[in-house]
Amino acid sequence: MGTPEIALGICEFVVLLFALSLHESAHGWMASRLGDQTARMLGRITLNPIKHIDPVGTIMLPLVAMVTHVPLIGWAKPTPVNTRNFKNFVRDDILTTLAGPVSNVIGAVVSLVVLIIIAKTSPVGLVSVQTVAMRGISGLDPRLLALSPIAYPLSLIFYIGVLLNLFLAAFNLLPLPPLDGSHIFRHMLPQRWLPVYDRLGILSLFLMLFFGGGVTMAMVNPVLGFFRVLLLSL
């Protein structure tokens, strides 16, 4: 692994840390708004990644992914929520659950806006953004990096922000325990089915590993394609 690949991997890792922190902090913020102060009292309503780190999901798995060149993914320490403090259990649980994926969608949109600003600042900024939009994060362009040592790296970082935030939002909405989507889906199930659904265990993990990525990208690709068309039309 050469220096450019290491630099790109570090950028992906840092963006993932903040995307995960945004997601978990949003759960805690919404729960606090709806009456449960558990996450606030534990200092979890913050973008500081240290407060959300899970040794395996936030550190070990992403680092292994970087070394082995597999798609980067991970998870943070779950935000503690005491649903007994909610006034309307079903509504408030769904809103608290949705806050995580929605925050990542907002993160993706903010990253897109920053890319548009970079493209509008200078001709080299426009070239940087459109090059990233065309090539994705498959690798660094050494010539463009030499030409634009600021705009090009920033374009890569915020494009990674778009991609990872969209992926995290879509992946977490899959109705598989323990993902966010399962919290919403279980409210739609008959009471007698809940014990079986909550015990999916290894089957849920199997479905996530072998089908989760493909289903998630099927949801993400149309949105990502629209964003690319928008950036290339600037």
Task: Give the largest CA-CA distance in the chain.
Answer: 63
Q: What is the pLDDT of residue 222?
A: 96
Q: What is the pLDDT of residue 1?
A: 55
Q: What is the pLDDT of residue 72?
A: 74
pLDDT (tens digit per residue) in 200-216: 878 888 888 788 889 99
pLDDT (tens digit per residue) in 38-92: 999 999 999 999 999 999 989 988 888 777 777 777 889 999 999 999 999 999 9
Q: pLDDT band for position 2 (50/70/90)?
A: low
Side-chain-side CA neighbours of 140 within 13 Å: the count stands at: 25
Q: What is the pLDDT of residue 136?
A: 86
Catalytic residues: 24
Q: How far is CA 221 from the centre of its chain?
A: 15
Residue with the larger pLDDT of the pair 103 and 5: 103
Q: What is the mean pLDDT of residues 12-35?
A: 96
Q: Cβ contacts of residue 176 below 8 Å, gap of 6+?
A: 182, 200, 204, 207, 208, 212
Q: How many residues does the chain have?
A: 234
Rounded to an integer, what distance in angstroms lies between the CA atom of residue 9 and that of residue 175? 30
Place of tokens 């998630």: 216
What would the DSSP string read from start to end of 82-122?
-GGG-SSHHHHHHHHHHHHHHHHHHHHHHHHHHHHHHHHH-
Q: Are 45 and 28 in contact (CB under 8 A)?
A: yes
Please give the mean pLDDT across all residues of the chain.
Answer: 91
Q: What is the pLDDT of residue 213?
A: 87
* Of 81, 68, 159, residue with least CA distance to 113: 159
Q: What is the pLDDT of residue 137?
A: 82
Q: Give yes or no for residue 127 having a pLDDT over 90.
A: yes
Could you count the other beta carbons within 10 Å of the beta carbon of residue 2? 9
> By percentage, how much of the chain surpasses pLDDT 70?
97
* Of 38, 37, 6, residue with least CA distance to 140: 6
Q: Give yes or no for residue 225 having a pLDDT over 80.
A: yes
pLDDT (tens digit per residue) in 143-176: 888 888 899 999 999 999 999 999 999 999 999 9
